[in-house]
Chains A and B, each alone.
Chain A
Amino acid sequence: MKISTDIGVWIGALSALGIYSVLIKDNPFYTMVEHIFVGASAGIAVVVGINTFLNSAWSPMIEGKYLLIIPILLGILLYSRYFEDIAWLNRIPLSFLMGTGAGVAMRGAVESQIVGQISATMVKLTTFDSWIIFLGTIFSLSYFFLTFQRGKVTGVTSQLGRYFMMAAFGAAFGNTVMGRISAAIGRFQFIFLKWLGLG
C-alpha cells in the first residue's frame, strides 16, 4: 500500500468519502462537502459565463459589432426579477429566449422525431424484427390516444403498448444501473488505487 502524498488526491478522496458517509447516516461531514461542492459548481458556472461573455459578446461589440449592446442590455434585464417594482421587465428577455427556443425546437422536431421515425417504421415487413418494431410502435402510440374512450380493440392495443413500453423501461433501467455503478467504480478507483495505492 502506497498512500499518495498529493494534497489534491487527499482532498478528492476525502470529498468522495464525505459524500459516501451519508450512506451510514446523515452527518455534518456530508453536509459540509455537499455545500462546498455547490459553491465550487456555482463558481465554475460563473467563471465560464464571464469568459464566454467576454469572448463572444463583449470583445466583438468593442471591435465593431455595436448591435450586440441590445442582447447585452436584454440579458441584464433578466436580473430585474430581484427588484419588485421593475420585476416585469424580465419578461422581455425571457420571451425572446422562449420564443426562439420554441421555434428552433419545433422546426426540427417534426422532421426528426415524427417523420423520420414513422418512415423508419413503415418498412417492408419481411422479418420478425420489423414486425415487432412496427407493432410495438403502433401499440405504444395507441396508449396515448386520450381524446376518445377506449373500446375493445383500442383497450387491447393500448395494454399491449404498455407491455412494449415496460420492455423499453426495463432496457433503460438496466442501462441506468450500469451508468450509476460506473460512477461508483470511478470513485472507488480513485480512492483505492490513486489515494491508497492498493492493487
Chain B
Amino acid sequence: MFLKKTLPTIIAFVCGVTVIIAYFFNIPFFQTTAQEILKWQSVIAIFALGLGAINIIRVHSTNIRRAKGKNAYSIALLITFIVTIVVGVFLGQESEAYKFIFDYINVPTGSAIFSLLAFYIGTAAYRSFRAKNIEATILLITGCLVMLGRVPLGAKILPFSVPATDWIMSVLNVGGQRGLMIAGAIGFIAVSLRIVIGLERTAYGGD
C-alpha cells in the first residue's frame, strides 16, 4: 500500500515543492537538489520516447499475427520502423541514408498530412461557415479580414484589411486572448497544485 499509493504521492510532493522553493529562495541546498531533480527528470523523460514505439510494435505485431501475415500495412510499418532505427543507430544521424528517410519520407508525408486541413477548410468555408448569430458573424468577419490582410493580393483588393488585421491582432485579439490566458493559467495552477500536494493522483496512475 505504501509503495503503491503513498510513495508516489510523496515523490510528487517532494519534487514539486523543492523546485518551487528553489525558484523563490536562494537556499544552496534547495538550489542543488532542484538542479539534480531537473536533471533526473530529463533522463527519465528520454525513456518515455520508447513507450510509443513499444505500443506501435505491440499493436502491429498483433495485427500481423491475427491476419496471419496478410496485413501488408503493419508489415510495411514495422519494416520502416526497424530500418530507420538500424540506419540511425549504426550509420548515424548524419549519414546520407538517415537524411534520406528524414527528408524524403518523414518531412514530405508529415507536411502533406498537415496540409490536408487546407482542403477541408475550403469545403467547410462554403458549406458550414455561416454567420447565423452575432458570435459567428464576429468570428467570420475578423477571420476573413485577417486572411485578406495577411496576403499581398488581399491588401491590393481591400487596402483597409492591412491596418484592420494589425488592429484586430494587437488590440481586439489581445483583449479576448488575455482573459482566456489568465483564466487558463488559474485553472492550470490549480491542477498543478493538486498534483503537487497529492490530491490529483490520476496523473500518475493513482486513484
- Chain A residues in the interface with B (C-beta under 8 A): 8-9, 11-13, 15-16, 18-20, 22-23, 31-53, 56-57, 67-68, 70-72, 74-76, 78-79, 81-82, 88, 90-110, 113-114, 117-118, 120-121, 129, 132-141, 143-144, 161-175, 177-178, 180-181, 183-184, 186-187, 190
Contacts and interface: CB of A to CB of B under 8 A. Distances in A.
Interface string B169-207: 111111111111111111011011101100000011110
Given A42-B53, A95-B8, A35 B44 contact: no
Interface residues of B, number: 123
B147 interface: yes
8 contacts: A20-B116, A36-B80, A37-B113, A39-B80, A46-B85, A114-B185, A174-B145, A187-B115
Nearest to B151: A178
A100 B179 contact: no
B18 to A, nearest CB: 7
Interface of B: 3-4, 7-9, 11-20, 23-24, 36-54, 56, 58, 72-74, 76-85, 88-89, 93, 98, 100-119, 121, 134-136, 138-147, 150-151, 165, 167-186, 188-189, 191-193, 195-196, 203-206
A136 B176 CA distance: 6
A69 to B, nearest CB: 10
B72 A32 contact: yes
A180 B120 CA distance: 10
Given A93-B44, A136-B172, A171-B142, A103 B18 contact: yes
Contacts of A42: 52-53, 56, 81, 84
B182 A43 contact: no
A5 to B, nearest CB: 14
B147 A79 contact: no
A91 B8 contact: yes
A117 B178 contact: yes
| Interface class of chain A by DSSP | helix
B11 A96 contact: yes
